[in-house]
């Protein structure tokens, strides 16, 4: 690309949903002939896609804006924090434009105002699936925007609005292009994947001469036609989720479910205004595992929510023992600017929150370790993410990128593995996060498993 092409720097913060917004903006910039550059110095203007989910994310976003202003001076702000323009202007009055999430048009207008596009009919550097920020072999697939729930600790509905589902044929076409472009794992994301299609009354659409409903199960059936791994994130334990589990048992969707339970005490869940019938959760998990015994369940929890008593916290620990989840992330509750939970009485003191978080993580670490140890001696399909010296580092079907564990393949380099390969790995060892294995093991050498 010629040096005279306008150049944009891009800072992408936040969750996978924000990452998809960044990818769309980058794609549009590239279509219009902008060069994306990696340094502030080289850029004509810098776009910062912000996160506003918790106060630490707000601070990180404001810092990123400040850094871009100091280093470059021409800064366009977009993303979740853009829904709170006063806060941004107060900290950084000199930003050029502020827009909220998914407001691609405003970002593009602001870029055009600083540095107009230079049309070059000979440039065609954008693949038909757009630009991606993830490695070539996996991609996030955003199926909807917004959320119909009103969890008391969350401000996403006020930032992103109510649920708006993308038509199923549009999602399937995008997935098809991604797979054609080399993607081997599709990570389905939204705020509540199990609510997909409820806003459009599960409208039927055509794809590859077949009718599909805009609904989680039907979407999964369509995605399974593509031959890539399909991983489901942010699913709530509603009854209709049961329909998807047989697809996992049949190998059509990965045997993995990311279910953000957040707590296990009915009273705390009520204060959190969480969706789903809590009392049925353990029964539901058991039923899922009866249908698909190998499935991995990942979840996130908040400890030290306002009003949480020691007994309620212990209920949560008991839940961990019973549920035997594979992977768990946890946070000590921290107030989010604008969330209703801030008004709840009986805030838990910081030191108690920290102590509970530590106890929680220690309890889960034992469970995760045992569940991983049970995989030693088995052969698992592993998707290779990268090579590190002699090792190939990958993930099994039970591990999502960034948030779960890894499989370290000791003879990865010798076996000629490369990112994007899917290989059978014999698991030789484990710890509390990761598995260790070999590709080139002779059955006899391994012994009598
Ligand atoms: S389900 Fe609750 S936590 Fe998740 S986005 Fe919706 S309101 Fe927020």
DSSP assignment of 90-152, as one string?
HH-TT-SEE--TT-HHHHHHHHHHHS-----TT-----TT---SS-TTEEEEE-EES-S---T
Which has the minimum average pLDDT: 167-171, 333-337, 351-355, 397-401? Answer: 333-337
CA of 2 to the centre of ligand 1 (A): 45
| pLDDT value of residue 133 | 84
pLDDT class of 344 with cuts at 50, 70, 90:
very high
> Alpha-carbon distance 82 to 58, whole Å?
10
Q: Does 147 sit in the ligand 1 pocket, CB within 6 Å?
A: yes
What residue owns the CA closest to ligand 1's atom 1?
149
Section 119-124 average pLDDT: 50
Q: Does 57 sit in the ligand 1 pocket, CB within 6 Å?
A: no
Q: How far is CA 417 from CA 391, 395, 398, 438, in A?
A: 9, 13, 20, 11
Q: Measure the CA angle with vertex 342, ends 339 and 343; round to 5°.
A: 115
| pLDDT value of residue 441 | 64
Listed residue (150, 214, 135) closest to 420, CA to CA: 135
> Alpha-carbon distance 331 to 409, whole Å?
31
Residue 283, Cβ density class (10 Å: 0-12 exposed, 13-18 middle, ≥19 buried): exposed
Q: Does 161 sit in the ligand 1 pocket, CB within 6 Å?
A: no
Section 426-433 average pLDDT: 95
- 236 CA: nearest ligand 1 atom: 1
CB 237 within 8 A of CB 259: yes
Listed residue (184, 190, 239) closest to 219, CA to CA: 190
**Residue recorded with tokens 């038509």:** 167
> Alpha-carbon distance 149 to 130, whole Å?
31
CA of 157 to the centre of ligand 1 (A): 7
Q: Does 404 sit in the ligand 1 pocket, CB within 6 Å?
A: no
> Alpha-carbon distance 449 to 444, whole Å?
10
Which has the minimum average pLDDT: 18-32, 65-79, 190-204? Answer: 18-32
What residue owns the CA closest to ligand 1's atom 4?
191
| pLDDT value of residue 114 | 86
């Amino acid at each position: 690309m010629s040096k005279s092409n306008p150049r944009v720097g891009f800072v992408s913060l936040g969750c996978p949903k924000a990452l998809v917004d960044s990818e769309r903006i980058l794609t549009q910039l590239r279509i219009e002939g902008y060069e994306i550059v990696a340094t502030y110095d080289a850029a004509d203007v810098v776009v910062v896609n912000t996160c506003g989910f918790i106060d630490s994310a707000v601070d990180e976003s404001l810092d990123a804006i400040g850094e871009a202003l100091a280093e470059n001076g021409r800064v366009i702000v977009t993303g979740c924090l853009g829904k709170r323009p006063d806060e941004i202007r107060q900290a950084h009055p000199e930003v050029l434009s502020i827009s909220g999430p998914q407001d691609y048009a405003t970002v593009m207008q602001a870029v055009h105002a600083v540095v107009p596009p230079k049309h070059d009919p000979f440039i065609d550097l954008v693949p038909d699936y757009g630009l991606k920020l993830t490695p070539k072999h996996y991609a996030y697939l955003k199926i909807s925007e917004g959320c119909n729930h009103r969890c008391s600790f969350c401000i996403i509905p006020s930032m992103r609005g109510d649920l708006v589902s993308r038509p199923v044929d549009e999602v399937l076409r995008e997935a098809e292009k991604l797979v054609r472009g080399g993607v081997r794992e599709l990570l389905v994301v939204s705020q509540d994947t199990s609510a997909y299609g409820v806003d459009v009354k599960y409208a039927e659409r055509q794809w590859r001469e077949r009718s599909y409903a805009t609904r989680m199960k039907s979407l999964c059936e369509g995605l399974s036609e593509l031959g890539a791994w399909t991983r489901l994130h942010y699913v709530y334990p509603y009854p209709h989720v049961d329909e998807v589990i047989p697809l996992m048992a049949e190998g059509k969707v990965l045997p993995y479910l990311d279910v953000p339970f957040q707590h296990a005490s009915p009273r705390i869940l009520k204060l959190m205004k969480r969706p789903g019938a809590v009392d049925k959760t353990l029964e539901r998990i058991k039923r899922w595992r009866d249908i698909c015994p190998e499935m991995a369940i990942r979840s996130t929890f908040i400890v030290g929510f306002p009003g949480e008593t020691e007994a309620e916290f212990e209920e949560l620990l008991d839940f961990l023992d019973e549920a035997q989840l594979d992977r768990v992330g946890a946070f000590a509750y921290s107030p989010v600017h604008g969330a209703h939970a801030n008004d709840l009485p009986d805030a838990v003191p910081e030191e108690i929150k920290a102590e509970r978080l530590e106890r929680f993580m220690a309890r889960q670490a034992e469970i995760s370790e045992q569940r991983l140890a049970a995989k030693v001696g088995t052969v698992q399909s592993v998707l290779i993410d990268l090579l590190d010296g002699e090792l190939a580092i990958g993930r099994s079907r039970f591990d999502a990128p960034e948030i779960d564990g890894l499989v370290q393949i000791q003879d990865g380099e010798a076996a000629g593995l490369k990112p994007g390969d899917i290989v059978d790995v014999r698991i030789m060892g484990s710890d509390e996060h990761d598995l260790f294995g070999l590709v080139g093991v002779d059955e006899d050498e391994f012994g009598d498993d």
